Amino acid sequence: MKKILVTGSRGQVGSDLVATLRQQYREIRVVESGRRNFSDTINQEFIYEVLDVTDSKRLSKIIEQYQVDTIYHLAGVLSAKGEQNPQLCWNVNVNGLRNILEAARSYQLKVFCPSSIAVFGANTPKFQTPQVTIESPSTIYGITKVTGELLCQYYADRFGVDVRSLRFPGIISYKTPPGGGTTDFAVEIFYQALQHGHYTCFVRPDTRLPMIYMPDAIAAILQLMEVEPTSITVRSSYNLAAISFSAAELVAEIQKYFPNFTCDYQPDFRQAIADTWPAVIDDAQARQDWGWQHSYDLTAIVTDMLEHLSLKSSEFGVLNSEFVFN
Ligand code: VAH
């Protein structure tokens, strides 16, 4: 019976991925893992192991104990948090990934690991950013992602490791709160709209970034992991995007539901990060190689986010009575 290990299983992507894997692959036992323990992981029907991915011995023990044959490696430090602790960001994102790739080499595992459009920098073409182009990121997060892509390519070429990767844009989801990324504004705004009817955005209104809704991101991961190896022509990481929008366009879309919703803009250190990233990504290679196709546009994302967050409002505080989604 195939067993899947998910690192960073309680993070933004990990939480949604584990739920989907459990639905889609009933016969599989999904082994969740993360740096911290959680109250709900004791005596549950699911498996959760405490795992710091920089601990290669602990990683090997879990792989052998559960006879893991596939790893979805989602443990990592995002861009904004990385700038506040570059040493931690390097250690987790690079040494952690190296441990995963070494384990994949030793145990013949199949691996998914996320990269990011953060591999691109100020010198990269901003519109229709190609699959192969100038990278030169200026954040430690982007530097760890470029390094990670080079490691993935090397392990695939040198050792035949079946590692697959996607350069994610900003990911929008409602299951977990924002996790320290520069694109967090596109998630925080929904919580603030429902609670206070107002949001103070940390990037300028004209800041346009590539984004994807979580259901599309999860679909892309599973589609890439299920495609025949012969269809994969990129082992560093595939450009992936769905839509691009500016902060102001997101505000306007929310105001279609809540006309009195207001937003002011107070750019902080994350503006400088966002300014180095592309505005629109060319993901033609992913669409050509394995049929990638996104489903959610901005209207669908805003509708789905407001619907789901309204339903879970008890978890994050009283809703502003005027902003009740129905
Ligand atoms: C971040 N959400 O903001 C991540 C992502 C492209 C952005 O890598 O750090």
Q: What confidence tens digit (pLDDT) does each residue in 222-260 have?
A: 999 999 999 999 999 999 989 999 999 999 999 999 999
The pLDDT value given to residue 40: 75
Hey, where are the domains in the chain?
A: 3-171+214-239, 185-209+243-316
Residue 39 has pLDDT above 80, yes or no: no
**CATH architecture classification, 185-209+243-316:** Alpha-Beta Complex (3.90)
| Residues 314-324 pLDDT 10s | 666 656 666 55
Residue 65: pLDDT band (50, 70, 90) is very high
Catalytic residues: 141
Going by CA atoms, what residue is nearest to atom 3 of ligand 1?
A: 181
| Residues 258-296 pLDDT 10s | 999 999 999 999 999 999 999 999 999 999 999 999 999
The pLDDT value given to residue 242: 95
Give the nearest ligand 1 atom to 210 CA.
6
What's the rounded Cα separation, in Å, for the pair 145 and 131? 15
User: For the whole model, what pTM was predicted?
Assistant: 0.94
| Residues 90-149 pLDDT 10s | 999 999 999 999 999 999 999 999 999 999 999 999 999 999 999 999 999 999 999 999
The pLDDT value given to residue 311: 84
Nearest to 275, CA basis, from 160, 124, 54: 124
Using most ligand atoms within 8 A of CB, pick from 139, 168, 280 the residue to mutate for ligand 1.
168
Alpha-helix runs per DSSP H in the chain: 12-24, 56-66, 79-84, 86-90, 96-107, 140-159, 185-196, 214-226, 247-255, 269-274, 284-290, 298-311, 313-316
Residue 200 has pLDDT above 70, yes or no: yes
Give the nearest ligand 1 atom to 79 CA.
9
The pLDDT value given to residue 248: 98
Residue 211 Cα to ligand 1 middle (Å): 9
Residue 28: pLDDT band (50, 70, 90) is confident
CATH no. of 3-171+214-239: 3.40.50.720
Residue 77 Cα to ligand 1 middle (Å): 10
Give the nearest ligand 1 atom to 171 CA.
2
Going by CA atoms, what residue is nearest to atom 7 of ligand 1?
A: 170
Give the nearest ligand 1 atom to 179 CA.
2
Average per-residue pLDDT for the chain: 94
| Residues 149-190 pLDDT 10s | 999 999 999 999 999 999 999 999 999 988 899 999 999 999
Higher pLDDT, 231 or 37: 231
Q: Where does ligand 1 bind, in terms of residues with CB under 6 Å?
A: 78-79, 116-118, 141, 168-171, 181-183
Nearest to 212, CA basis, from 255, 173, 253, 171: 171
Same fold? 3-171+214-239, 185-209+243-316 = no
205-211 mean pLDDT: 98
Q: Which residues contact 293 (CB under 8 A, 6 or more apart)?
A: 287
Residue 26 has pLDDT above 80, yes or no: no
CA dihedral over 223, 229, 231, 237, signed as positive or negative:
positive
The pLDDT value given to residue 46: 84
Residue 215 Cα to ligand 1 middle (Å): 17
The pLDDT value given to residue 320: 63
Beta strand 170-172 with 29-34 is: unpaired
**To the nearest whole percent, how much of the chain has pLDDT over 90?**
87
**To the nearest whole percent, how much of the chain has pLDDT over 70?**
94
